[in-house]
Chains A and B, each alone.
Chain A
Amino acid sequence: MAHLDEVEDSRRRLLIKMLAASVLAGAGTAESVQAESIFGSVPEKLPPGKSIFSLEGWVEVNGKQATLTTLIGPNDTVKTGKQSSAIFVVGGHSMILRSDSHLVMEAAQQEEKTNQIIQVLRLITGKILSVSRDTRYTIRTPTATIGIRGTGIYAEAGTEQTYFCTCYGSTEVSANRDPTSKETVVSQHHDKPLYILGNEPQGKNIRNAPFVNHTDQELMLIEALVGRTPPFVFPDNNYAAPRRRY
């Protein structure tokens, strides 16, 4: 099987190179690298010592502009600017942080210096798609606290409202300002997106929401970066922005 994988890998790389060549015919190595960044990359498990798969626009890690070689750890802060995004991995967590986001990570209390386990993701503002397995952690936003046990999730945080989708797995959702608004979500495939609000009457701060702004293909991409696959085989196009038929 490994042999087949290698063959498929080499075919894909050949295809990307052909695409690149059609734009930059006869170009040298620098141009080829540029073309690969234009046409994107094949998502595969990131090697040790590499955290970032792709960057777009302005991205900061701990206040410094990030590059593809910047390492991101479980105690770091990541910010994105307008029309910017970062796709990165911390331990077994793989994430897409979209534009205008501010994410603060807190590591689990462990003595090992190599600890890569995230205990808390504080999404102060912005949008994040994240996958993990077999680890418990918490997402905190201005209006919500969500307990997660190894799953795929998407969150959008604002000062008055949080959008939260349990893409698959189970989560415990609660409203920060209303202890009576709590909900356990067990989802196989984006089954119950929620709004978590801040200023509604007691017991009414969690509401059903539509499905927005993330796709199955993105979940497949970030799972690939940590060497996994999502628990579904077919990406559902109904979750992407509508597109005309071929």
Chain B
Amino acid sequence: MTAFQQIFLGFRKKGEVSRFRYIQFFSMASLANTSSNRIGKFPVIAVFVITGLSVSPNISYAEGLDGLGILLDTGYSYDNNLTHASDPTDKLSDSSLNLNLIGTKAVALSEHTRLVLSGFIDTEAFARYSGLDRLSANAEAEYMYRPSGEFEAPTFGFITGAGRDEFKSGLRKNDHYSAGVTLRQPVTDRVNLYAALKNNISRSDNDVFNTRDTSTQLNMDYGFSNGNTLYLTTEYRVGDIVSTTQAALAYREIAAASINDDVFSSGQPMRDYRIKGKTAVMTLGCNLPLGGKKSLDISWRYARSASDTSPDNDFSLIKYVGSQFSVNYLMGF
């Protein structure tokens, strides 16, 4: 029995039918993680996610599970430019299923300050490019200050985080760290703002995936009709970009580091290049409450990157664009 099974069976001692469904739920997760058959793996995870949805109506109402501060986030994503490539022939797309467990605990330090501790376990499995399959563990701490309990009072925060990404791809395995400041500001009864300025560092065994960037983020939540929320997130990153293409002189001239990739190929081996650049990301999404502590989240993410410098024999910068479409089901305990 896995640790997951023990935890969840411990919470739910009543009802053998429910117990069986939890076992089924997490056994499929184990199977999905251990299967080496690419053809079989993706459907297994799909069944796992669907089964998760089918058991979910009972979970958040199960006695003893409410108020744990745990969020289950599972869903499907499609990315049309996984390689962050500018040439259409190098742009490779794939779909993925993901399952994230997020635990949050707020610790009051005083009337106006608190520490919010979060832990995340993320898994992602791709349909085609199995090297991108990932298991991540992250921890985050945010120190918050709010001057009053008035509706419009802002919340200021210092945030720091660390984590490990275990990709199947040996090149991409990394430890990452981030630190920054945050601001949450209710504006009206419908509009809430969130802003963050962060420095992000990723440390890998190879030089290409040793990256560093500074990001500014602004999110606006717009509440409409019965708790539904539209959100728009904009993010601007300055720092390292990793782009994967067929070996190209233009990239080689401006790259700080490069290496043969161990995941992608488009007829020929492809190379990873780390270049300095700027990335603008916009996410437009809609969060639809499904009653209780469940919701459906649909989002579209658009990223546009450009190198800081152009190759010697060209005046134009190296640019790429990419889109990601996601549908996620969220359930709070």
8 A Cβ contacts from B53-106 to A: 60-61, 63, 66-67, 69, 71, 73, 102, 104, 106
Beta-carbon contact of B189 and A54 below 8 Å: yes
Fill in one digit per residue for A230-241: 1 if any B CB lies within 8 Å of its CB, else 0. 111110101001
Beta-carbon contact of B293 and A243 below 8 Å: no
Does any Cβ of A come within 8 Å of B269's Cβ? no
Q: How many residues of B contact A (CB 8 A)?
A: 58
Beta-carbon contact of A244 and B104 below 8 Å: no
Does any Cβ of B come within 8 Å of A212's Cβ? yes
8 A Cβ contacts from B283-333 to A: 285, 287, 289-295, 297, 299, 328, 330-332
Does any Cβ of B come within 8 Å of A40's Cβ? yes
8 A Cβ contacts from A56-78 to B: 56
Interchain nearest-CB distance for A156 vs B (Å): 11
8 A Cβ contacts from B229-280 to A: 229, 233
| Closest 5 pairs (CB-CB, A-B) | A40-B190, A40-B188, A241-B289, A210-B66, A242-B330
Nearest-neighbor residue (CB-CB) of A19 within chain B: B191
With the chains together, A96 CA to B109 CA distance in Å? 31
Beta-carbon contact of B189 and A243 below 8 Å: no
23 of the cross-chain contacts (CB-CB < 8 Å) are: A16-B188, A16-B191, A19-B191, A40-B188, A42-B151, A210-B293, A211-B66, A212-B291, A212-B292, A220-B149, A220-B150, A220-B186, A224-B150, A233-B111, A234-B106, A236-B106, A241-B295, A241-B332, A242-B71, A242-B332, A244-B73, A244-B287, A245-B102
Nearest-neighbor residue (CB-CB) of B189 within chain A: A40
| Segment among B13-21, B36-44, B219-227 that sits at the interface with chain A | B219-227
Q: Which residues of A contact B293 (CB under 8 A)?
A: 210-212, 241-242
The total number of A-B Cβ pairs within 8 Å is: 130
Does any Cβ of A come within 8 Å of B24's Cβ? no
Does any Cβ of B come within 8 Å of A128's Cβ? no
Beta-carbon contact of A246 and B102 below 8 Å: no
With the chains together, A246 CA to B226 CA distance in Å? 21
Beta-carbon contact of B60 and A243 below 8 Å: no
Interchain nearest-CB distance for B18 vs A (Å): 15
Interchain nearest-CB distance for A232 vs B (Å): 6
Q: Which residues of B contact A231 (CB under 8 A)?
A: 149
Does any Cβ of A come within 8 Å of B155's Cβ? yes
Does any Cβ of B come within 8 Å of A10's Cβ? no
Interchain nearest-CB distance for A13 vs B (Å): 10
With the chains together, A231 CA to B148 CA distance in Å? 10
Q: Which residues of A contact B292 (CB under 8 A)?
A: 210, 212-213
